[in-house]
Amino acid sequence: MGAVLIIAVIFLSLVTFTKILADNRTRNKLIERGKLDENVKYLYSGSDYQVASSLKWGFVLIGIGAAFIIGQLVPEHISEEITIGSIFLLAGIGLVIYYWVAKQMVKKQREK
């Protein structure tokens, strides 16, 4: 049962990722060809607040990886609880760090 759930989650993640990429490419082509009016271009063009999404997920995944390492270092009888708690804590810290870095990047872009 657990393996079926994992396979379903992976499959749905791949489908969602593919759909997002296809939609993004379509929007960019429409913008390049001038098929959208100015209000819609503003919504889909890169604004100052859109900082690299890969940076955010990098911070989150580093936090999750660190949580698994911490889970391996603690005594075995509490490692599961520590690992799960650390995942949420360190992923949240990663998001807070991303927010701070993104805010600094936007501030530098506005100064230019």
0.85 exceeded by pTM: no
Q: What would the pLDDT profile of 80-103 be if each residue is shown by its tens digit? A: 999 999 999 999 999 999 999 988
CA distances from 37 to 8, 22, 42, 46, 84 (A): 39, 21, 9, 16, 47
pLDDT value at 31 more than 90: no
Give kind and range of the element (H or E) at residue 26.
Answer: helix 2-33
